[in-house]
Structures are given as structure tokens and as C-alpha cells.
A and B are shown apart, each in its own frame.
Chain A
Amino acid sequence: MQTSFLQGLGKMLLDRSIIVLFVIVFLVFGLLSPQFLTLQNLLNILVQSATLIILASGMTFVIITAGIDLSVGSIMLVVAVISGKAVLDYDLPLLVVIPLGMVLGLCFGYLNALSIHRLKIIPFIATLGMYYVARGLGLLISETRALNLPESYTWLGNTPILGIPLPVWIMAVVVFAGHIILSHTTYGRQLYAVGEDAVRARKAGVKVDRIIIGSYVLCGLCAAIASLVATAQLGAVSPTFGDQREFTAIAAVVLGGTSLFGGTGKIFPGTLIGAILIQSIESGLVMVSLDPYLYAVITAGILFFVVLIDSIKHQRQNRKSAKPLLKSSS
């Protein structure tokens, strides 16, 4: 009786490992630094996570199709540079600059999709190519100089609506829209089907190519929105802007329970929690005034722990699904 209770508890904890860890991280940092659990700090964490959540939301679409997009950080840079230049050199209003940036993101996403779909280049290589092209373009246009943005641009990153900063609202809209698309539309269902087994999905009449193109286009769009939000928060565009953001976004998606093999995963709550967890760890480490040399070790340790638990969970699931097969074959 006791054994089955413990087994059940273990299974429950394993199934909800990300939430359990999320709670542990908040409790530990809360105990070590009283300011960590204040409403203001929790809001800060949300504001700081906004960019990553938006970026990771787009990445979730791509990873569900068993793809990957390594170019999002570079798309962020090129969008930021062109938008910044549009404001600084051509004095364009934000009402023009924001749609311009979003269209740019869509275009880069579409170019990624075309090279994957038409040229049949595997996503890793196609988006790696775009990583270099977009970063190179960004550096070329900016002449590798930092752009300091005017106040008229940065209000986007600070203005509160109902006491909540605008980036959080933008993030909420993206998460909500992403969640609706994945859970309540035909496109969402077909996306999972393609990620699960593209050949079967094609046989079932799903237009696989369109689904995949759509995922990369959405990912490009999210990268552009993330770029606009981040530059507005920073007040500047440096040539290193967006560098390695793709890896943090992928980490947030995987932490949120989306499988790199495709077919499973959710933006809400999965990716949302994954991204907030990453940001909370960074915030908490500063709050508790830890030795800066330990930051990387602790962050990597926590991420490794989550992925390890996830791996154990998947191994158990695989063993379970293999058992009936073995029985039936014997």
C-alpha cells in the first residue's frame, strides 16, 4: 500500500517535474532573499522574460514539427538594426516602424521555410545559413556600430497599461494567440500530426509543406516582435544584440516539455514556464548576491537536472509503450 503510494507520488512528481522545479526555485530564492517574492520583483521577472517568451513561442511551433530555427537571434538583430535606422536616419514614426519590423520577420521566416521546403535543405543547415546571412546583414547595415535609440522608441518598453508594463501585455497576446492556434485550430492539430509522423500526415491529406512553411513564418514573426520589444527595453541596438538567443529560446521550449523529436509540446503553460524559469534563475542569482563565477555552474546545473528528469520520464514512457508490444508479439 505504502509502496504504491510512493510510486504514485514519484510518478506525479516526475510528470510535473518542471512545475515542481519551478516551485522549488521560487521557494529557495524566496527564502534566501525576501525581495525575490515581492510583487514588484515577480513583475520584473515577467518583464524581463517577455522577450524570451515571445521568441520561444515562435520556436515552439517549429520544434513541434521536429524542426529547429537557429536564425532567430540573427533575425532579431537585423530587424532591430533596420527598425533603429528607420527611426534614427529616416525619422519614421513607430506606427510605420513596428509593422515594417514584423514584415521583415515574416520575410526571413518565409525564406527559411522556402530553403527547407523548396530546396530540401534540412532545417538545421538552412537556418544556420540564415543565421550567418541575417547577422552579416545586420552588421553590414549597422557598420558594426551601436545605435542609441530615442525616447520616442523606448516608450514601448516601459509604458504601463493598468499598472502592467507593455512588454508583458505583448507577451500575453503572443502566448494567448499561440495557445489558441495550437489547441483550437485545424492548423494546430495538423502541426502536431506533421511533427508526430509527416509521412502519415501526408497520407491523411494534410498539406505538410504548408504546415511547415507556416511554422517558420510564425517563428520569424515572433523573432521580429521579440526584437522590437527587446530594443525598446534596452534603448540601444548593439552588434551583439540577439547573439545566442536561439539557444536560450530552444532551452525554454525544451524545459517547457516540448520534445525535440516533434509531435508534442505546448506554449501555455509549457514554454511560458520554461522561459520564466530561466529568467527567474538569473534574477534569483543576482538577488542572493552569489559569487558571479558560480552563476553559469548553477544555471547549467538546474537546466541539466530538468533535462535529466525529462529524459527519465521519456524512458519510462517508452518502456511502458514497448511492454504491450512485447506481450502482443509473444
Chain B
Amino acid sequence: MKQNCSIIYRLWPCLVLFPLLWCCQPKDDRLTIGVSFETLQTEYWVTSINAIEAACEKHNIRFLSAVSNGDANRQFEQVNNFISRGVDGIIIAPKDGNTVIPVIKAANRANIPIVLYNRSPAKDIGQYVTVAANNYDIAFHTTKYLCELARQSGRQWKALELIGNLGDINAVERSKGFNAAIAQYPNDVEVVAAVPTEWNQEKALAGTTNALQAHPDIDFIFSASDFLIPPIVSALKNADKYHPIGHEKHVLFGAFDGDATAYQLLKEGYLDADGVQDVFFECEASVQAVVDILKGNPPEKVLVDPGFVIHTKNLEAMAPKMWGAAADHK
């Protein structure tokens, strides 16, 4: 007891000073947005969170961020912390469509606008706005472009599809888009292998190597993410199939995202086409959605980023819109 009193006696200046300093802080009248990302583990997510921060700055909004490193429970706690801190709006890049549902409910109970970045909820419950790329369409058009190239050659091509994580709605939509496009070219392209990579580069390397072993005639590859390009390139090199466009052994190669690696390979002529998510549009739309809801003008429930396909023929024109090419087009 005596010891406790002694500690309080020693710390009394702090006990007085902290509340005093807290009260004397200049009042920040700006809006505050809490941004929770499930991961920052690829270039796409890093660019996204930076773009959201830039959009907040542009709107003179205070930006708070949290990353849950793939843990849905932690993400829920982080959003609850935002709510306790009295943020004006929440932008969340959820772990998946199911675990975000209680997050939406919590934000709705606190009457705080919530915007889902990049992933839709599994069920349409409560009030929220989703800003997401049209994964199906972008994958469809990217594949269609590759199929057109295949058709022009006048022979049948054997395709390998590298799927992302089958529990991720974005990966599933990309796969559906790919297969829908392929279905329109039954005489030109045949899918001989599909490898689930779980967004893991090592699995992508092993899967591509195995597929090339089982089907040495594979000459058409579609990857659900640019993030998987390096291991695919490694496997192609080992199989002596990594050659630029125009070479007789060139493998038709398409991917999805729009990162710097894809941009580099497009420039070098190894990648034929890339489906690009318009990160800058998505981030600006997310922040704008929060602002609009707070002003009483809620936007549509789903704001779709139509994305675009970039290929060797439109590279110069479209590169300034590709987030992976930002360093070259500042």
C-alpha cells in the first residue's frame, strides 16, 4: 500500500500533465477515416493504401490505418477500435467476403459509413458501399485478346490457367472470366491444366513446372495475378519456353493486376496482355464515397472499376493509367 502511494507520489506530475496536454491539443476539425487492410503483402495493396492516403490528403481528411496481416478477428478488433475512436468513416479491404459481415454490422450500429475496398461481402446485409474491380470482365477481355491472337495463328493452342486462392471471390471471378472467354474459342484454345496457387509463388512454380512436364505442348498461360509472374518465368526458362513475342517458341502469356513486373515484361515483349485494375480510380472512389455518404448523398451500393486490358499494341497510350507504370509516368 505504502509502495503504491510512493509510485503515485512520484508520478503525480505525469498524472497532471497528460490530461492537461491532451486538453490543450489544437482541435482538429477535419474528418477522420479509419482504413483497415487485411494485408500489405503485395505491391497492389501497398499502392492501394498509399493511394487512399493521398486521396484523404486531397480531401483534407485525417487518415488512420491498421493492417491485420491476414487475421480476420484482428481486423474486426481494429475496426472496433476505429469506432471507439469516433472516426467519421471506415474503408476496409476485408480478408474475405464472409468475415466482413460482422464488421459491416458493427459500423452500421455505430452509424459510421463503411466502404469495402476490392472485395464484396458474401451476403448483401446492412448499409455499405463496395468499390471493386470487375474481375470477371477484366479477366474475360484479357483472355479474349489472347484468344484472338491464338485464332490468328490458325492452329490450336494448349492453355494453362494459374488460379489464385479458391476461397477468394476475386480469384474465382477471374477464373470464371478466363473460362468464359476460352469457351468462345473451342477450336483455337484448349485448357489442359489448371493450377490452384493459393496466391503462393512456390506453389505457382511447382504447379507450372508440373503442368509443363505433363503437357509439354502448353503454349498459352494465364495467371490470376501479376504477383505470380516471376515463378512462371522461372518455370518457362527451365523448360526453354521463355521467348519474346515473334519467336517461334513464344508462349502466349497473360496476367492480371497491372503491377511493375507486368509493365516491364510488356515493354520487353514477353507478356502479351495484362488486365489492369485502376487502383487510383478505386481509391479515389472509396474516399469520395465516404465523403458523399457524410454529406447525405450516398452513392450506388457497388462502384465498379471497369479496368482495362493493356497489351503491346496499346501500351504507350494506356501505360499512364497503369499503376505499375507510375514510376515511368510521373
Query: Is A292 within 8 A of B163, CB to CB?
Result: yes
B42 touches A146 (CB 8 A): yes
| Residues of chain A lying within 8 A (CB to CB) of residue B42 | 144, 146, 238-240
Chain B residue with Cβ nearest A158: B238
Write the A219-253 contact mask toward B (1 if CB under 8 angstroms, else 0). Answer: 00000000000100111101111010000000000
Contact of B207 among A158, A236, A239, A286 (CB under 8 A): A286
Instruction: Give min CB distance, A168 to chain B, whole Å.
Output: 13
B233 contacts the other chain (Cβ, under 8 Å)?
yes
Determine whether the beta carbon of A144 is less than 8 Å from that of B196. no
Minimum C-beta distance from A195 to chain B (A): 30
Q: Given A145-B46, A235-B231, are A240 and B213 also a contact pair (CB < 8 Å)?
A: no
Name A241's closest neighbour in chain B (CB-CB): B201
Q: Is the CB of B202 within 8 A of A157?
A: no
As a 0/1 sequence over residues 238 to 250 of chain B, the CB contacts with chain A under 8 angstroms (1 = contact) are 1000000000000
| B211 located at the interface, meaning its Cβ lies under 8 Å from any Cβ of chain A in the complex | yes
Q: Which residues of A contact B206 (CB under 8 A)?
A: 48, 279, 282-283
Residues of A within 8 A of B82 (CB): none
Stretch at the interface among B97-105, B187-195, B283-291: B187-195
B40 touching A234 by the CB < 8 A rule? no
With A35-B214, A283-B210, A287-B210 known as contacts, the answer to whether A292 contacts B196 (CB < 8 A) is yes
Whether A293 sits at the interface, judged by CB under 8 Å, is: yes
Closest CB-CB distance, B68 to chain A, in whole Å? 13
Chain A residues contacting B261 (CB-CB under 8 Å) are 146, 148
Question: Could you tell me if B43 and A286 are in contact, using CB atoms closer than 8 angstroms?
Answer: no
Name the distance in Å between B120's Cβ and chain A's nearest Cβ.
21
User: What A residues does B201 contact at CB under 8 A?
Assistant: 234, 236, 238, 240-241
Q: Which of A47, A238, A293, A295 contacts B227 (CB 8 A)?
A: A238
A297 to chain B, nearest CB (A): 11
Chain A, Cβ-Cβ closest to B191: A289
Q: Are B41 and A287 in contact (CB under 8 A)?
A: no
Pair B196/A295 contact, Cβ less than 8 Å: yes
| A283-308, CB < 8 A from B | 283, 286-287, 289, 292-293, 295
- Judged by a CB distance under 8 angstroms, whether A213 is at the interface is no
Complex CA–CA separation, A157 to B199 (angstroms)? 21
Interface flags for A30-43 (1: CB within 8 Å of B; 0: not) read: 00010110101100
Contacts of A236 on B, CB cut-off 8 Å?
Answer: 201, 230-231
Q: Is B237 close to A, CB under 8 A?
A: yes
A238–B234 touching, CB < 8 Å? no
**Nearest Cβ on chain A to B153's Cβ, whole angstroms:** 24
User: Contact mask B22-63 → A, CB, 8 Å, 1/0?
Assistant: 000000000000000000111101100000000000000000
Question: Cβ of A287 and Cβ of B213 under 8 Å apart?
Answer: yes
Give, as a whole number of angstroms, the nearest-CB distance from B204 to chain A. 9
Residue numbers in B under 8 Å from A115 (CB-CB): none
Residues of the B chain whose Cβ atoms lie less than 8 Å from the Cβ of A59: none
Per-position 1/0 for A61-103, Cβ under 8 A of B: 0000000000000000000000000000000000000000000
CB distance from B198 to the nearest CB of A (A): 9
Q: Which chain A residues border B231 with CB–CB below 8 Å?
A: 234-236
Q: When each residue 15-56 of chain A gets 1 if its CB lies under 8 Å from chain B and 0 otherwise, what string results?
A: 000000000000000000101101011001001100100000
Contact with B along A116-149 (1 / 0, CB 8 A): 0000000000000000000000010001111010
Determine the chain A residues whose CB is within 8 A of the CB of B193 once the complex forms.
286, 289
- Let me know if A264 is at the binding interface, CB within 8 A: no
Closest to A145 in B: B43
A183 at the interface (CB under 8 A from B): no
**Which chain B residues border A36 with CB–CB below 8 Å?**
214
Q: Which residues of B contact A243 (CB under 8 A)?
A: 200
- Could you tell me if B227 and A48 are in contact, using CB atoms closer than 8 angstroms? no
Q: In the bound complex, what is the Cα–Cα distance between A56 and B42 (angstroms)?
A: 27
Q: Which A residues are CB-close (under 8 A) to B213? A: 35, 38, 40-41, 44, 287
Pick from A44, A51, A240: contact of B200, CB under 8 Å: A240
Complex Cα distance, B235 from A154, in Å, reads 12
Minimum distance in angstroms from B164 CB to a CB of chain A: 10
- Given A289-B193, A295-B196, A144 and B230 touching (CB < 8 A)? no
Q: How far is the CA of A128 from the CA of B200 in the complex (A)?
A: 21
Most buried by A among B42, B210, B227, B231: B210
Partner of B205 from A35, A233, A293 at Cβ < 8 Å: A233
Q: Does B318 belong to the interface (CB within 8 Å)?
A: no
A234 adjacent to B202 (CB under 8 Å): yes
Does the CB pair B214–A234 fall under 8 Å?
no
In the complex with contacts A139-B40, A286-B195, A44-B209 CB distance below 8 A: yes
A-B contact pairs, 20 of them (CB 8 A): A33-B214, A41-B213, A44-B213, A51-B202, A144-B42, A144-B46, A146-B42, A238-B41, A240-B199, A240-B201, A279-B206, A282-B203, A282-B207, A286-B193, A286-B195, A286-B210, A289-B194, A292-B163, A292-B194, A292-B196
Task: Rank and list the top 9 A-B pairs by shortest CB-CB distance, nearest first.
Answer: A236-B230, A239-B41, A286-B210, A292-B196, A287-B214, A144-B40, A235-B234, A283-B210, A48-B206
Interface residues of B (CB under 8 A from A): 40-43, 45-46, 163, 166, 192-196, 199-203, 205-207, 209-211, 213-214, 227, 230-231, 233-234, 237-238, 261
